[in-house]
Amino acid sequence: MERVPYSTDLSDGRWALIEPLVTAWKQQRVSRSATGDPGSCDLREVVNALLYQNRTGCQWRLLPHDLPTWSVVFYYFTLWQQDGLDQRIQEILRCQVTKVYALHPDPSGAYVDAVRAVEDVANPLSASSPRATLGEVIREFEHRGGNYSMVILDNSAAPATIVTVLSLVKLLWHGHRDRHPGGRTSAPIAQEAAQAAVHIAALLVQLLSTSAVVKNPWPRRQATPSTPWPATAQQDPARTVPPEEPALRSGIAAL
């Protein structure tokens, strides 16, 4: 039976980026082993467990039971450090940045990577959108924005709305002017625009992957498509803060 995914799980896109390295490492290990047994452990799930531990900061022995056992996860973590696999994965991720800051940059490719990075961490926003595009993320925030808040407080000491986050997502989405070549508003991506997109995406990835944006734990008024949220930037008058709001722990995204 397939487990319920965690918000820290690798997306298919991010797994596709590092899977060749993990597979090559495993083949080398098997070829050097005495038995030649490849084992049955799902290495993608091992990475998911490492991401979960990194984000939550839990002790190894307290990893959820539907992930690989802590001893297996720690075993692979140690091997990957010894063999330098973790450094090679980081190098692949750094290469994405060179598309925008290299001697011969690729602004269009860098913008695409920026958009995909935000799409990866924004999913799943809801059960109906397990693989949302930026456009679907915008619709989710516009029509159900009242269901989300930020851990930072506003001037009334209530959790801030996601108006700013929504504005950044819209800016990134609408600025991707070459995604439909030949369109009426299509235009090449300038180097400066690609650089700005990378930094906006980095901020959004940090906010969306470290529980800075959370689903509200108490019932909220649902907006309708004809009256999308937020109609204005004002605080919802029906919003109340529970007397004892649980502390929300932030982590660091590893991938």
pLDDT number for residue 238 = 44
pLDDT of 242 higher than 50: no
**Per-residue pLDDT at 95 exceeds 80:** no
Over residues 97-124, the pLDDT tens digits come to 667 666 677 888 888 888 887 887 776 5
Whole-model pTM: value is: 0.52
Q: Per the structure block, which two tokens stand in for 165?
A: 């986050």
CA atoms within 13 A on the CB side of 29: 15
Q: How much is the average pLDDT of 47-69?
A: 91
**Model confidence band, residue 244 (pLDDT cutoffs 50, 70, 90):** very low
Report the range of poorest mean pLDDT among 137-146, 221-230, 237-246.
Answer: 237-246
pLDDT band at 152 (very low <50, low <70, confident <90, very high): very high
pLDDT band at 247 (very low <50, low <70, confident <90, very high): very low
* DSSP labels, the chain: -PPPPPTTSPPHHHHHHHHHHHHHHHHHHHHHSSS----S--HHHHHHHHHHHHHH---GGGS-TTSPPHHHHHHHHHHHHHHTHHHHHHHHHHHHHHHHHSSS--HHHHHHHHHHHHHHHT--SSTT-TT--HHHHHHHHHHHGGGEEESSB-TTSSBPPSHHHHHHHHHHHHT-TTSSTTSTT--PPPHHHHHHHHHHHHHHHHHHHTTSEEE-SS--PPP-TTSPSPSSSSPPTT----TTPPP--------
Integer Cα distance of 5 and 107 in angstroms: 33
User: Residue 26 corresponds to which amino acid?
Assistant: K
Percent of the chain with pLDDT over 90: 20
Residue boundaries of the structural domains of the chain: 12-83, 99-215
The pLDDT value recorded for residue 71 is 95
pLDDT of residue 135: 86
Per-residue model confidence (pLDDT) at position 65: 94
